Amino acid sequence: MLIVTLCMGLLYFTANKTMNSMMQESERSHMESMLKGQAGLVEEYVMHQEDLLSAYSKSQSVKALLKDTENKEKFNAAQDYTVKYYEGLENWEGLYIGEWNTHVIAHSNPKVIGVVTREGEGLKALQDEMTSRNGLYDAGIIASPASGKLILSMYCPVFDNDGKTILGYVGGGPFVEGLETLLDELKSEGDTAGYYMINVETGTYIFADDKSLIATEMHDEMLINIMDEIKKGQSTGEVVYQGTDEKYIAAYDYIDEHGWAVVSL
């Protein structure tokens, strides 16, 4: 009888251990799948926004105004085009045309026309970034000086018809709350898995379940460990962290082009 009891106990222990292992593997697989979906969505979203600004920069009315900035007729055409193009965009903060010295000459918000957005070292840094890329410069996700909200800040030089001579540039970008909404929609009903999106270069939160953390400096030990692993060259992986009652696993994927990481847990 004792032997039977011991055998039954061993079977139960083995089955229970196997079941727990299977559940953990299933949870890990789900987390990794969620992570890949989130990272892919971020890259697709950014690429789409960049394409919209790039297409705007190629308009002949934009080029015409930059070649003849004092021409009222060309200003009206470019301003009208800017406003109509902006109205077709979804959840963008603004859209504008600037001379190479960042003097704004057309804007979706007419009140901003005439403003110079950069001077000194800031101006040279922006010009160098656009020149070195010979095309669109994505400055990443920043807190907008105008609204305080997070935006994807983008700039694109406007070339003359020879494809080489820079006439000026266009700038603008969407509020990133639209991206956050898309990421939330990836979750299935009843899914309790959480995620963060962090800026590895600045050590700040881009998205977090706790909205008060957004755009602030990270102090979470788990996220700092992930940031350290990324800086060591580990662009994707897992870290173990201690929760309130037990240990958990967080998976991450680094989007090198933008310096951001998506973290699923």
pTM > 0.85: yes or no: no
Please provide the distance, in angstroms rounded to a whole number, between the alpha carbons at the two ends of the chain.
46
Please give the residue that has the higher pLDDT: either 239 or 69: 69
Question: What does the pLDDT read at residue 22?
Answer: 44
Q: Which residues contact 121 (CB under 8 A, 6 or more apart)?
A: none
Closest to 199 measured CA to CA, from 141, 253, 252: 141
Task: Give me the sign of the Cα torsion angle 243, 247, 251, 254.
Answer: positive
Please give the residue that has the higher pLDDT: either 231 or 34: 231
Question: What does the pLDDT read at residue 80?
Answer: 98
Matching residue, tokens 């305080």: 148
Q: Can you read off the two tokens belonging to residue 214?
A: 């957004």
Residue 259 has pLDDT above 80, yes or no: yes
Q: Residue 159 corresponds to which amino acid? A: F
Q: Residue 8 corresponds to which amino acid? A: M
Question: What does the pLDDT read at residue 142?
Answer: 86
Lowest mean pLDDT among 2-16, 43-57, 62-76, 202-216: 2-16
pLDDT in tens, 35-58: 777 788 888 999 999 999 999 999
- Give the up-direction half-sphere exposure of residue 46: CA atoms within 13 A in the CB hemisphere: 20
Per-state percent for the chain, helix, strand, coil, to nearest 5: 45, 25, 30
Q: What is the DSSP string of 70-131?
A: T-HHHHHHHHHHHHHHHHTSSSEEEEEEEETT-BEEEESSGGGTT-B---HHHHHHHHHHHH
Question: What does the pLDDT read at residue 19?
Answer: 44
Work out the percent of the chain whose per-residue pLDDT is above 70. Answer: 83
Residue 4 has pLDDT above 70, yes or no: no
Mean pLDDT across the chain: 85
pLDDT in tens, 146-197: 888 899 999 999 999 898 899 999 999 999 888 888 887 776 555 546 788 8
Please give the residue that has the higher pLDDT: either 70 or 22: 70
